[in-house]
A = this chain, B = another copy of it.
Amino acid sequence: MAIFSRSGVRLGNLIKKTSRLCYVSQHTAVNAPQYVTAGCEEPTGPILRTSIPGPESQKLTQELDQIQNAGSVQFFVDYAKSQGNYITDVDGNVLLDLFTQIASIPIGYNHPNLLQVMSQPENLSTFINRPALAVFPPKDWVRHLKNALLSVAPPGMHQVQTMACGACSIEHGQKAMFITHQRKKRGGLPPTQEELTSCLYNKEPGCPDLTVLSFSGAFHGRTMGALGITHSKWIHKLDFPTPDWPMATFPKLKYPLHENERENMEIENRSLDEVRERIEEYNKRGRPVVGCCIEPIQAEGGDNFASPRFFQELQKICKENEVVLLMDEVQTGCGSTGKFWAHEHFDLPEAPDIVAFSKKMLTGGFYYKEDLRPKEAFRIFNTWVGDSSKVLLLEAVINTIKKYNLLDNVKETGQYLQNGLHEMEKKFPHCVSNVRGLGTFCSVDFPDAAFRDGVIMKLRNRGVHAGACGDRSMRFRPTLIFQKHHADIFFDAFEKTLQESSQ
């Protein structure tokens, strides 16, 4: 089956062979220039037809609200017409997308390499016959796990478990911690009959009172175990019973970093002291801390960064206390920091014990060290344990990342983006502060939430779609094929917005 662009033109006829990552192609069918970015055809810029949300979006939102609370809807999307870095809404507005479905579109909308997966007849059965992967895996499963997930495994990690989404990746990562802790405690002996029976009633000793340490501002998901280690916003937490587990303060660094080195080191040391104290305190209370979950960059909580030294020290504390370190890379993984995994920036002496992923990886799951591998079957298990069709698509994503050196692209564009943001910070010092980032995973702060929300709304009506995080931050989560000329479109809209807002 041929691949068609939104204008109905065969992409196979359109795309010139070239080694350049981005170039302009004369789009003969509509007689307008089109960019081709990392093999993906794109419009040359945003197109605005209505204010956003437009009338069609508003109508559909009202209809959806008859079926469920639709208060979180921003606008309805025409996904078939979205291309590369551009999202097209149902009112015909074409926006440069810096938010990408809450950071979960890796190589742009409708990338030809993904369409290509769907055009192979031998792949179709993967999409319509969803297997119970841990019991009846498909014949190509091992090959796809190797080509997709293992080919990008964090250095030093060779075991991987797929899951459906981020929250259940965290939940099952926690279970791997608990299983490992209890196995070691038993010293190789099998569980007692009392353990086997009591666990069915949620009672000790079968269900021991183990705890997991997390950080203020953390976000790890919305199921009970993942929510127990989440502390970012009340909207996620209010009214829900959650386990009484230890929490330490995540460092809140001061910017610019080079002017605040000593103070930031003290801030981080206080956090590390708290980690030690919490572990000691909970261990003493007979509620041992068996795991520690942390994001390499706190995203939902406001794009909070800590130094490599902080993570190195944290790993040291964990090892000293036999605490399993889980790095939650659900939002940071898959290249947007300029390395495939954000924790690779930390020069850790060895890999974290568990690395969880989802979002841009298309499948949820987690890597783990051999020590965390359950000895019994069915311990980390559910009906589907993920979705082989997502791994098939991930393989195409990873091949595209490699083919177009997209990690290098992210580094280069990320530097360009951050430089431009620093210029804006200088130009609008009362509006923009705390410019920070790794690769294109970056963010800025505004005076308050209302100012930030106003900026995001004005940007959108200038054709640029960005996302909020934390109390007063705007986060950049573009695709991996985001280019300097896309950044220029953003800067143009940003400058106009800030001029307007600061008047």
With A101-B131, A165-B168, A224-B224 given, can you name 13 additional A-B contacts, CB distance below 8 Å? Answer: A69-B380, A73-B135, A75-B136, A105-B129, A118-B127, A130-B362, A164-B165, A174-B224, A202-B247, A203-B244, A207-B241, A224-B225, A224-B228
**A90 adjacent to B168 (CB under 8 Å):** no
Residue among A161, A200, A243 having the largest count of chain B Cβ atoms under 10 Å: A200
By beta carbon, the residue of chain B nearest A222 is B382
From known contacts A161-B68, A239-B179, infer whether A76 and B110 are also in contact, taking CB-CB under 8 Å: no
Residue numbers in B under 8 Å from A1 (CB-CB): 1, 121
- Give CA–CA (A221, B126) in the complex, Å: 24
Residue numbers in B under 8 Å from A241 (CB-CB): 178, 207-211, 243
- Give CA–CA (A72, B382) in the complex, Å: 11
- Give CA–CA (A234, B210) in the complex, Å: 17
A470 close to B (CB within 8 Å): no
By beta carbon, the residue of chain B nearest A150 is B67
**B228 adjacent to A202 (CB under 8 Å):** yes
Residue numbers in B under 8 Å from A456 (CB-CB): none
**A379 adjacent to B235 (CB under 8 Å):** yes
Residue numbers in B under 8 Å from A233 (CB-CB): 200
Residue numbers in B under 8 Å from A209 (CB-CB): 241
Give 20 CB contacts A-B under 8 Å.
Answer: A1-B121, A64-B141, A69-B375, A77-B136, A102-B383, A104-B383, A127-B127, A128-B393, A171-B223, A181-B239, A182-B239, A191-B234, A199-B237, A199-B240, A200-B231, A202-B228, A202-B245, A206-B238, A207-B237, A224-B224
A346 close to B (CB within 8 Å): no
Residue numbers in B under 8 Å from A380 (CB-CB): 69
Stretch among A19-27, A79-87, A428-436 lining the B interface? A79-87
- Give CA–CA (A221, B374) in the complex, Å: 19
Write out, one digit per residue, whether chain A residues 376-409 have a CB within 8 A of any chain B CB (1) or not (0): 1111111110000100010000000000000000
Residue numbers in B under 8 Å from A208 (CB-CB): 239, 241
State which residues 270-314 of A face B: CB under 8 Å: none
**A207 adjacent to B138 (CB under 8 Å):** no
**A159 adjacent to B243 (CB under 8 Å):** no
- Give CA–CA (A360, B124) in the complex, Å: 18
**B80 adjacent to A125 (CB under 8 Å):** yes
**B80 adjacent to A122 (CB under 8 Å):** yes
A142 close to B (CB within 8 Å): yes
From known contacts A207-B241, A379-B235, A381-B222, infer whether A76 and B137 are also in contact, taking CB-CB under 8 Å: yes
**A129 adjacent to B142 (CB under 8 Å):** no
- Give CA–CA (A226, B382) in the complex, Å: 12
- Give CA–CA (A204, B160) in the complex, Å: 37
- Give CA–CA (A413, B186) in the complex, Å: 50
A145 close to B (CB within 8 Å): yes
A427 close to B (CB within 8 Å): no
Residue numbers in B under 8 Å from A439 (CB-CB): none
- Give CA–CA (A158, B63) in the complex, Å: 13
Residue numbers in B under 8 Å from A82 (CB-CB): 125, 129
- Give CA–CA (A161, B221) in the complex, Å: 17
A373 close to B (CB within 8 Å): yes
A15 close to B (CB within 8 Å): no
**A223 adjacent to B69 (CB under 8 Å):** no
**A63 adjacent to B142 (CB under 8 Å):** yes
By beta carbon, the residue of chain B nearest A365 is B68
A390 CB to closest chain B CB (Å) equals 8
A167 close to B (CB within 8 Å): yes
A71 close to B (CB within 8 Å): yes
